[in-house]
Structure 1
Amino acid sequence: MTSETTYVELSFKNEAKPSCAKSRPPAAPKEKSSLHKSNPRFPKVLFASLLVLLLLLAISFFIAFIIFFQKYSQLLKERKTTKELTHTALECLRENVTMEGKDWSCCPKNWKPFSSNCYFISDTTRNWMESEKNCLAMRSHLLVINTKDEQDFITQNTVASSAYYIGLSNPKGEDWQWVDRTPYNESGTFWHSGEPSNFDEDCVALLFRTPLRKWGWNDVSCNEHHRSLCKMTKIYL
């Protein structure tokens, strides 16, 4: 028995597998989304806030500068006033002053306050002219008496054993005149009875007459040496 061999032709082809899509590079990893998205209006709001703050600071500085300048000017004025008065110490009282911005009325130390004036009673005896010069050196004048209340205040603070020059004189033998040019009013004077009595006595002194127990004015020689009374307007601060 003859055996038969059957050959089957087989063929093999190397074919690439078709790709469904073109190859792509690997995708970059996605960044995580920010939790807070940036607000485009934020820089504008910040700028406006800073601008307002700077404006408020500028206004505050300007107001502070004005207040400082006013206080400084007032301080300079007060120092100048005190310096011009040549008094190194003042004694002040707080009172209802009608002058705007003024709360204190002051007199130099050792001066006596009364009404709107200050009075100095000198212990040194001088002639009338020297007495007036002494008052002028203290930015004042010899006493000018305007009212009975003022006359009474002065006599309550003077010594009965002394005479005191006041600012009334008659240098040319004519009309009496006050050193501050206040008009002389005969009805407002406080002469002792019978005074003035001597045409050669051209100055006036306040003195106490023992028999009458009364203070009054006498005309005296301007060269006599007596104590004196100075008067100045109060200093207001």
Structure 2
Amino acid sequence: MTSEITYAEVRFNRGPTASGIHPGSLAAPKQSTAPHKSNLDLPKLFLISLLILFLLLAITFLITFIIFFQKYSQLLEEKKSLKELNHTALECMKNNFKEKVWSCCPKNWKPFSSNCYLISTESKSWYESKHHCSTMEAHLLVISSKDEQDFIIQNLKNTLAYYVGLSDPEGQRHWQWVDETPYNANVTFWHAGEPSDRNERCVILNYRRPLATWGWNDIRCVQNQMSVCEMMKIYL
């Protein structure tokens, strides 16, 4: 018996074509459309970076402020020290042995009561004399009693005149002391006939020979005269 051979035509698909998946073939697995986790973390990282930056800036500002404050405090202390060192040499004394506090005046200043006095060695205008006293943490002489007046004139030369801290800035006979002590008309030592001119607005202490007396006289502030500076005693 003759056997028969049967042929069958078999075709194989070659997979997806260049234009896509061939119809009828299995669908390709879908990719997940959810965003990556790293993309979600970017805003958080940005905010954290900003916070760190602001924190660093705040720390830098705080450190700068502290350094500036320390420098400023140091400058004030140095300035204070310089003022205190205006009088490096002091002459001190105690009124009695029981006292624990020393009362001192700068060297070459004369002590009386609670004050120290310096008699100038140069003649200047009233305003220049006032400024000169202020550079030594003092002021022009303010006379508040006869005892003080008598003490001062004992240390002056009767051939010279000395500015005191009394003036009439507006020429209205409203006399003012430089330390704002109220002007007391009952405690004054004007020469006879003085004050005599509204244009003479500053006061000197001088000696008049005919009467052989010391007293006050008003003169023009621009005239060059000697002066007396006054300051409170230093207590140690």
Normalised TM-score (structure 2): 0.63
Q: Over residues 23-58 of structure 1, what are the superposed CA-to-partner deviations in whole Å (9 max), with x where a residue is unaligned?
A: xxxxxxxxxxxxxxxxxxxxxxxxxxxxxxxxxxxx
CA contact (8 A) 1:97 1:103 kept: no
Q: Over residues 105-164 of structure 1, what are the superposed CA-to-partner deviations in whole Å (9 max), with x where a residue is unaligned?
A: 000000000011000000100000000000000100000000000000000000000000
Structure 2: gaps (5+ residues): 1-76
Q: Which amino acid aligns with 1:87?
A: H
Task: Say which one has the larger Rg.
Answer: 1
Q: Over residues 139-194 of structure 1, what are the superposed CA-to-partner deviations in whole Å (9 max), with x where a residue is unaligned?
A: 00000000000000000000000000000000111200000000001110000011
CA contact (8 A) 1:95 1:103 kept: no
1:215 positional shift: 0.1
The match for 2:130 among 126, 129, 132 is: 132
1:95 positional shift: 2.6
Q: 2:184 aligns to what?
A: 185
Q: 2:203 aligns to what?
A: 204
Q: 1:176 aligns to what?
A: 175
- Among the aligned pairs, what percent are the same residue? 60
Q: 1:229 aligns to what?
A: 228
Q: 1:213 aligns to what?
A: 212
Q: 2:139 aligns to what?
A: 141
Q: Output the aligned Cα RMSD.
A: 2.1
1:97 positional shift: 10
Runs of 4+ in 1 over 4 A off after TM superposition: 80-83
Q: Which amino acid aligns with 1:166?
A: V
Q: 1:116 aligns to what?
A: 114
Relative to structure 1, is the Cα distance of residues 116 and 160 closer, same or farther in structure 2, using a 3 angstrom cutoff? same
Q: Distance in 2 between matches of 1:165 and 1:200?
A: 16
Q: Distance in 2 between matches of 1:82 and 1:188?
A: 37
Structure 1: gaps (5+ residues): 1-76
Across the two proteins, how many residue pairs are aligned to each other?
157
Normalised TM-score (structure 1): 0.63
Q: Secondary structure at the match of 1:152?
A: helix
